[in-house]
């Protein structure tokens, strides 16, 4: 039987738009604290400006259902990209800490809307029979951005000036808006939205969509591990005197890219177990190597396991979440995925960052390892002892026709 087409103009456009949104954000992730510090901000102010972003992103996702009913997914994506664009322009003109804080809140609102509706729109575009494969490819844009944009941002700020940094971020956001022109919703998705019954959504479901318990919990656990590795690996390397730790992300990104190219196809043909299990094991092995690393070579070996694990786990969890809900609830499933990821990431960084200040970064990573061991144990438990739940992981076929 001929496969439904995946590589359409709309799919290309949404991949590029999502990647550019992440590039606009990630080039500022390591550089905005440096810029704010150069303006004389205190440590508390730097922490507030860095942390408020995630809070505002989670806040705006509470209103996902209201926005999608009022505007539709594409216009919601436009709104998120517009917020991201005006905030990056504002950074270039604001020198007051309070005004920069407001710009950061606006960027968080834009990122929260943009990531939620880019993913929801992508799943409408991807044929249901190739959803695992399509979600894996969808994430390639932000994978590349996460590997390149931070280093580029640091170079622009340190070798040139903040004006070049903010100009790049602004251009990336503007190009994302341009790409969204080609990301129209499918006719079947529009019809489903119109036919969907008007029901009042409980506030709990605005943060945590009903029926997504297992994948949401696992996403939160992985967010904790993923956020801590990304934030603290350089400090761990410094603690054990390993040079050039930035290459950890370069090697890791290469393997995230490679695994995303085949992991989705395995998901579609075999189911989530055969993708998530090797991903969890690989990431856990990577943490064991990190904890015991004393050389640059060991750290690069850890990066291989880290990238392989992340490349298999993240798109599989997203696909699982989308497959756990009715088609008209996909925007809420997307919001749930990013909320759980943000809660795990932010909570892990705040709590384990404080722990590291007492026991050191190497010892702190044992707690990160414990989170992944819990992930592995819980995943195996739900798979082997909850057969009814395991059956729900299979890809739904009820919406296989796309306009």
Higher pLDDT, 33 or 368: 368
Q: Which domains does the chain have, with CATH numbers?
A: 7-182 (1.20.1250.20), 203-394 (1.20.1250.20)
Burial, 384: exposed, middle or buried (Cβ in 10 Å; 0-12, 13-18, 19+)? Answer: exposed
Contact (Cβ atoms closer than 8 angstroms) between residue 337 and residue 219: yes
| Range 143-157 average pLDDT | 82
Higher pLDDT, 203 or 313: 313
352-380 in b/e form (b: 16+ CB < 10 A) is bbeebeeeebeebbebbbebbeebbeebe
Distances (CA, A) of 166 to 23, 141, 161: 12, 20, 9
Q: Helix, strand, coil shares of the chain as percentages rounded to 5?
A: 80, 0, 20
Q: Where does the pLDDT of residue 77 fall: very low under 50, low under 70, confident under 90, or very high at 90 and above? A: very high
Instruction: Pick the range with the lowest mean pLDDT from 95-99, 275-279, 285-289, 373-377.
Output: 95-99
**Which pLDDT score, from 0 to 100, does residue 400 have?**
37
Q: Where does the pLDDT of residue 397 fall: very low under 50, low under 70, confident under 90, or very high at 90 and above? A: very low
**Which pLDDT score, from 0 to 100, does residue 11 have?**
93
Q: What is the pLDDT of residues 31-56, one digit of tens each?
A: 787 788 889 887 667 767 777 887 88
Cα distance between residue 159 and residue 284, in whole Å: 37
Higher pLDDT, 175 or 190: 175
Instruction: Pick the range with the lowest mean pLDDT from 11-25, 139-153, 314-328.
Output: 139-153
**Which pLDDT score, from 0 to 100, does residue 380 have?**
94
Distances (CA, A) of 377 to 43, 184, 284, 288, 394: 39, 41, 12, 16, 21
Cα distance between residue 226 and residue 41, in whole Å: 28
| Range 135-156 average pLDDT | 83
On the question of pLDDT at 101 being above 50, the answer is yes
Identify the sign of the CA torsion 175, 206, 275, 132: negative
**Which pLDDT score, from 0 to 100, does residue 142 have?**
82
Backbone angles phi, psi at 63, to 5 degrees: -110, 20
Distances (CA, A) of 320 to 66, 276, 296, 304: 24, 10, 36, 24
Q: Where does the pLDDT of residue 386 fall: very low under 50, low under 70, confident under 90, or very high at 90 and above? A: low
Residue 360 in tokens: 């050191």
For residue 231, give every residue at least 6 positions away whose Cβ sits within 8 Å of its Cβ, in sequence order, or none: 349, 353
Cα distance between residue 26 and residue 45, in whole Å: 20
**Which pLDDT score, from 0 to 100, does residue 174 have?**
97
Q: Which one of 187-191, 269-273, 394-398 scores highest in mean pLDDT?
A: 269-273
Angle between helices 43-61 and 330-359 (to 10 degrees): 160
Closest CA to 287 of 170, 173, 371, 206: 371
Q: Which one of 26-30, 79-83, 228-232, 339-343 scores highest in mean pLDDT?
A: 79-83
Instruction: Pick the range with the lowest mean pLDDT from 190-194, 355-359, 362-366.
Output: 190-194
Number of residues that make up the chain: 403
Q: Where does the pLDDT of residue 247 fall: very low under 50, low under 70, confident under 90, or very high at 90 and above? A: confident
Q: What is the pLDDT of residues 249-271, one digit of tens each?
A: 888 889 998 998 889 889 989 88
DSSP structure string for 357-402: HHH-HHHHHHHHHHHHHHHHHHHHHHHHH-HHHHHTTSPP-TT---
Structure pTM? Answer: 0.74
Mean pLDDT, rounded, of the chain: 85
Distance spanning both ends of the chain, measured CA to CA? 19
Residue 238 has a CB neighbour count (10 Å cut-off) of: 12
**Which pLDDT score, from 0 to 100, does residue 345 have?**
83
Cα distance between residue 140 and residue 126, in whole Å: 15
**Which pLDDT score, from 0 to 100, does residue 393 have?**
43
**Which pLDDT score, from 0 to 100, does residue 401 have?**
34
On the question of pLDDT at 396 being above 70, the answer is no
**Which pLDDT score, from 0 to 100, does residue 34 have?**
78
Contact (Cβ atoms closer than 8 angstroms) between residue 64 and residue 207: no
For residue 321, give every residue at least 6 positions away whose Cβ sits within 8 Å of its Cβ, in sequence order, or none: 209, 212, 215, 216, 219, 333, 334, 336, 337
């Amino acid at each position: 039987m001929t496969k439904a087409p995946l590589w359409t103009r709309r799919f290309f456009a949404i991949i590029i738009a999502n990647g550019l949104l992440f590039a606009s954000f990630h080039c500022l992730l390591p550089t905005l604290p440096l810029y704010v510090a150069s303006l004389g901000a205190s440590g508390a102010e730097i922490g507030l400006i860095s942390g408020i972003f995630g809070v505002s992103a989670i806040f705006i996702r509470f209103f996902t259902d209201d926005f999608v009913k009022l505007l539709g997914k594409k216009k919601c994506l436009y709104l998120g990209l517009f917020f991201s664009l005006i905030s990056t322009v504002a950074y270039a003109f604001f020198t007051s800490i309070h005004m920069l804080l407001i710009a950061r809140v606006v960027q968080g609102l834009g990122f929260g809307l943009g990531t939620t509706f880019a993913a929801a729109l992508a799943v409408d575009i991807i044929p249901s029979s190739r959803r695992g494969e399509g979600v894996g490819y969808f994430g390639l844009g932000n994978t590349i951005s996460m590997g390149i944009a931070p280093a580029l941002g640091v170079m622009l700020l340190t070798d040139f000036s903040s004006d070049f940094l903010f100009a790049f971020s602004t251009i990336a956001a503007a190009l994302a808006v341009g790409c969204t022109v080609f990301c129209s919703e499918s006719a079947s998705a529009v019809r489903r939205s119109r036919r969907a019954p008007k029901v009042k959504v409980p506030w709990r479901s605005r943060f945590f969509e009903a029926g997504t318990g297992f994948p949401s919990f696992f996403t939160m656990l992985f967010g904790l591990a993923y956020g801590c590795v990304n934030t603290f690996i350089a400090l761990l390397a410094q603690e054990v005197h390993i040079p050039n730790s930035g290459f950890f992300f370069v090697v890791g990104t290469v393997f995230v890219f490679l695994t995303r190219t085949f992991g989705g196809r395995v998901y579609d043909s075999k189911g989530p177990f055969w993708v998530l299990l090797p991903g969890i094991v690989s990431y856990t092995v990577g943490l064991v190597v990190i904890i015991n690393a004393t050389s640059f070579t060991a750290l690069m070996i850890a990066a291989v396991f880290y990238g392989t694990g992340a490349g298999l786990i993240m798109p599989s969890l997203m696909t699982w979440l989308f497959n756990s809900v009715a088609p008209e609830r996909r925007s809420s499933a997307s919001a749930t995925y990013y909320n759980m990821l943000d809660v795990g990431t932010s909570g892990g960084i705040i709590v384990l960052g404080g722990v590291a200040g007492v026991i050191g970064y190497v010892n702190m990573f044992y707690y990160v390892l414990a989170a992944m061991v819990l992930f592995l144990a819980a995943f195996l438990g739900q798979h082997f002892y909850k057969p009814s739940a395991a059956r729900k992981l299979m890809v739904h076929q009820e919406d296989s026709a796309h306009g």
